[in-house]
Structure 1
Amino acid sequence: MIERRVRYPGRRQLDDRRVLCGILFVLYTGIPWRHLPQELGFGSGMTCWRRLRKWDEAGVWPRLHEMLLAELRAAGVPDLPRASVDSSHLGAMKGGAATGPSPVGRGKSGSKHHVIVEAHGIPLAATLTGGNRNDVPQLIPLIRAVPPIRGKRGQPLRRPKHLHADRGYDHESYRDQVRRFEITPHIARRGTEHGSGLGVHRWVAEGALAPLHWFRRLRIRREIRSDVHQALITLGCGVIRWRRLRAPL
Structure 2
Amino acid sequence: MDRRILGLIATAMECCEGGRSRGRGHPPASLVRVLATLRQFVREGTPWRSLRATSEKASGSTLRRCLAAWSRTGLLGRVHALLVRMLRGHPDLILDSCSVRAKRGGDLTGPNPTDRAKKGSKYHVATTGDGLPVACAVTGANVPDTLLFERLFLAAFAVLARIRTVLADKGYDAERHRELCRKLGVRPRIHKRGRAPGSGLGKRRWPVERTNAWLLENRRLALRYDRCGFIIQSLLQTACIFLVAGRLAQEF
TM tier, shorter chain?
A: 0.7 to 0.9
Is residue 202 from structure 1 mapped to residue 201 from structure 2 by the alignment?
Answer: no
Using the TM superposition, give the Cα deviation of residue 182 of structure 1 relative to its aligned residue in structure 2, in angstroms: 2.8
2:71 to 29, 53, 56: 56
In the superposition, relative to structure 1, how do residues 40 and 93 fare at CA in structure 2: closer, same or farther (>3 Å)? Answer: farther
- How far, CA to CA, are the matches of 1:19 and 1:205 in structure 2? 29
Larger Rg: 1
> Which residue pairs with 2:61 in the alignment?
46
Deviates more, 1:190-199 or 1:209-218: 190-199
**What amino acid sits opposite 2:226 in the alignment?**
E
Q: What's the Cα RMSD here?
A: 2.4
Using the TM superposition, give the Cα deviation of residue 97 of structure 1 relative to its aligned residue in structure 2, in angstroms: 2.1
**What amino acid sits opposite 1:106 in the alignment?**
R
- How far, CA to CA, are the matches of 2:178 and 2:249 in structure 1? 36
**What amino acid sits opposite 1:33 in the alignment?**
W
> Which residue pairs with 1:148 in the alignment?
158
Gaps of 5+ in 1: 1-7, 150-155
Using the TM superposition, give the Cα deviation of residue 247 of structure 1 relative to its aligned residue in structure 2, in angstroms: 2.7
Gaps of 5+ in 2: 1-22
In the superposition, relative to structure 1, how do residues 147 and 59 fare at CA in structure 2: closer, same or farther (>3 Å)? Answer: farther
The normalised TM-score by structure 2 is 0.82
> Which residue pairs with 1:113 in the alignment?
123
Identity of aligned residues (%): 34
Deviations 1:127-165 (Å, cap 9, x if unpaired)? 11110011112111111222633xxxxxx72x6221111
Q: Is the 8 A contact 2:53 2:59 kept in 1?
A: yes
Is residue 218 from structure 1 mapped to residue 221 from structure 2 by the alignment?
Answer: yes
Is residue 102 from structure 1 mapped to residue 116 from structure 2 by the alignment?
Answer: no
Q: Is the 8 A contact 2:191 2:200 kept in 1?
A: no
- How far, CA to CA, are the matches of 1:199 and 1:174 in structure 2? 21
- How far, CA to CA, are the matches of 2:56 and 2:50 in structure 1? 13
The normalised TM-score by structure 1 is 0.83
Is residue 79 from structure 1 mapped to residue 90 from structure 2 by the alignment?
Answer: yes
> Which residue pairs with 2:246 in the alignment?
243
**What amino acid sits opposite 1:184 in the alignment?**
R
Q: Is the 8 A contact 1:85 1:202 kept in 2?
A: no
1:164 to 162, 167, 181: 167
Deviations 1:94-120 (Å, cap 9, x if unpaired)? 222211001122211111001111111
**What amino acid sits opposite 1:237 in the alignment?**
C
In the superposition, relative to structure 1, how do residues 16 and 106 fare at CA in structure 2: closer, same or farther (>3 Å)? Answer: same
Using the TM superposition, give the Cα deviation of residue 39 of structure 1 relative to its aligned residue in structure 2, in angstroms: 4.5
> Which residue pairs with 2:51 in the alignment?
36
Matched residues, number: 230
- How far, CA to CA, are the matches of 1:227 and 1:206 in structure 2? 25
